[in-house]
């Protein structure tokens, strides 16, 4: 009977996820490129873990250490890129190659501190990601607004996963000190399988894929609104209605702020304080209202309605539609347009923003 380590199965699942992301038509390749690389590294790491702990090949440990530190740094680079108004080239993040370079030096000259160094690297990047997440969904100013909530949840998941990986390494070190590593293989297999699947899903979500809802993405209660907040919110409302910006599938907070000639943070603060929601929810509300009008007033297919209202991902469209209406688009249309008789029904009341 052929023994196949469980991490190999995880690597296969990640490979399938990678192919699926490559075949998706939503979003540009340049936008997905860092996350595709990240998932590729997850898959490679899973193969290395399977070789090390499935077949007890100790000599592959240095490769595992190098890939692990690269994953942590690249995860930060990916999400930090989504939080910057001006999208930089990956070369700007060259300092984040230093953790991997440091581990390489330790491997060559002084292996003793490697475990501690990896723990500190994972804790550091995990904490940095959670600090970035503290700003709420609007912190990811460069992500498309129809998937901003899922990108934000992905950011949270990745931060927690990196910290959990560090804790796992601490437990493994403790096991080696107490029992000589009797349980280390099982701990590593279980911990890394969970971490790799979670991190792989997080990367897929952040790059435009779909995923289950995980953590709450609601912004914290905003402070009282000012007159300036009201003026900014009114200007944004006018811009949305007059120019229908919400129909742009690539719309993000950075683009909105540029059209208003304001800092992105100023726009998001006004929306948070006046409307009590994130910018992504605010824009998606416009999109869903437009979709409702088309579902009732036209014979367009649901897919066409989805694209016309500014969505790219069907999962995001259905999720946002259910959030506002408590039902999916098909149910909404059936209840309001029970039959076709030469004209579409129009007795539907839509709430104003």
In angstroms, rounded to a whole number, what is the distance separating the alpha carbons of residues 255 and 253?
5
Q: What pLDDT, on a 0 to 100 scale, did the predictor assign at position 121?
A: 96
Q: Which two tokens stand for residue 78?
A: 């990916």
Total-model pTM: 0.79
Please give the angle made by the CA atoms of 250, 158 and 106, to the nearest 5 degrees.
Answer: 120
Q: Residue 233 in contact with residue 274, Cβ under 8 Å? A: yes
Compute CA 25 distance to the chain's CA centroid, rounded to the nearest angstrom.
Answer: 17
- Please measure the distance between the N-terminal and C-terminal CA atoms of the chain and give it in whole angstroms: 63
Q: What pLDDT, on a 0 to 100 scale, did the predictor assign at position 350?
A: 45
Q: What pLDDT, on a 0 to 100 scale, did the predictor assign at position 6?
A: 72
pLDDT > 90: what percent of the chain? 41
Tell me, what DSSP letter sits at residue 221? P
Q: Which two tokens stand for residue 298?
A: 């036209």
* Domains detected in the chain: 6-206 (1.20.1070), 228-336 (1.10.10.60)
Residue 16: which of 43, 51, 46, 44 has the closest Cα?
43
Q: Which two tokens stand for residue 112?
A: 């003793």
In angstroms, rounded to a whole number, what is the distance separating the alpha carbons of residues 46 and 52?
10
- Spell out, as residue ranges, where the chain has pLDDT lower than 70: 1-4, 24-32, 87-92, 175-176, 180-223, 338-353
In angstroms, rounded to a whole number, what is the distance separating the alpha carbons of residues 247 and 309?
5
How far from 228 is each of 17, 54, 272, 273, 294, CA to CA, in Å?
Answer: 45, 61, 13, 11, 34
In angstroms, rounded to a whole number, what is the distance separating the alpha carbons of residues 170 and 160?
15
């Amino acid at each position: 009977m052929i023994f196949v380590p469980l991490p190999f199965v995880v690597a296969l699942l990640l490979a399938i996820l990678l192919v699926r992301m490559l075949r998706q038509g939503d979003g540009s390749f340049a936008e997905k490129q860092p996350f595709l690389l990240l998932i590729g590294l997850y898959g490679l790491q899973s193969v290395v873990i399977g070789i090390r702990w499935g077949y007890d090949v100790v000599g592959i440990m240095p490769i595992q250490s190098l890939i692990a530190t690269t994953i942590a740094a690249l995860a930060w680079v990916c999400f930090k890129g989504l939080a910057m108004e001006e999208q930089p080239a990956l070369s700007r993040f060259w300092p984040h190659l230093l953790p991997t370079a440091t581990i390489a030096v330790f491997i060559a000259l002084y292996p003793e501190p490697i475990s501690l160094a990896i723990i500190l690297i994972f804790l550091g990047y995990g904490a940095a990601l959670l600090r970035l997440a503290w700003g709420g969904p609007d912190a990811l100013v460069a992500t498309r607004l129809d998937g901003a909530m899922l990108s934000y949840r992905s950011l949270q998941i990745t931060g927690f996963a990196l910290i959990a990986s560090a804790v796992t390494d601490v437990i493994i070190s403790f096991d080696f000190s107490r029992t000589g590593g009797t349980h280390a293989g099982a701990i590593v297999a279980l911990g890394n399988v969970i971490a790799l699947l979670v991190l792989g899903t997080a990367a897929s979500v952040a790059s435009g894929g779909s995923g289950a809802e995980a953590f709450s993405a609601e912004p914290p209660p905003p402070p009282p609104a000012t007159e300036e907040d009201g003026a900014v919110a009114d200007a944004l409302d006018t811009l949305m209605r007059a120019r229908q910006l919400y129909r742009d599938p690539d719309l993000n907070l950075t683009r909105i702020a540029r059209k208003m000639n304001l800092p992105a943070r100023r726009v998001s603060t006004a929306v948070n304080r006046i409307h009590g929601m994130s910018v992504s929810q605010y824009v998606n509300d416009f999109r869903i209202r437009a979709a409702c009008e088309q579902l009732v007033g036209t014979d367009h297919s649901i897919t066409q309605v989805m694209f016309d209202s500014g969505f790219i991902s069907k999962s995001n469209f259905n999720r946002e539609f259910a959030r506002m209406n408590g039902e999916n688009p098909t149910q909404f249309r059936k209840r309001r347009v029970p039959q076709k008789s030469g004209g579409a029904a129009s007795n539907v009341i839509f709430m104003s923003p």
